[in-house]
Amino acid sequence: MKGAFKNSASGIQLRKALVVLQFTISIALMVGTGIVYQQMKFIYSADMGYNRDQIITIQQNGQNVTRASTLKTELLRNKAYNLSELLPFVLVNN
């Protein structure tokens, strides 16, 4: 009884089907990896519409988060800065 399925016709067909399935999955994974690589390359090289060197990041925590709207108002009031109402003003709580 031992090994009878392994040498039978259905056992050989199952083994061949599993090998084909394994190669199909590995090819799909390689193609998927290539697509993700191309997308990441595009994201890093695409023009985002702004100069990344002219972005200011201010980390806030606790009580300073409540003062963020005041900071935004004061920055928008000052004409020396080129600020846009269209850009989001995101509050990040650490």
Report pLDDT digits (tens) over 7-61: 788 888 999 999 999 999 999 999 999 999 999 999 988 887 777 776 767 676 7
Report field, pTM of the whole predicted structure over 0.85: no
Domain range for 37? 1-46
Residues 61 and 80 in one domain: yes
One-letter-per-residue 3-state SS of 24-90: HHHHHHHHHHHHHHHHHHHHHHCCCCCCHHHCCCCCCCHHHHHHHHHHHHHHHHCCCCCCCCCCCCC
Residues 68 and 31 in one domain: no
Residues 40 and 69 in one domain: no
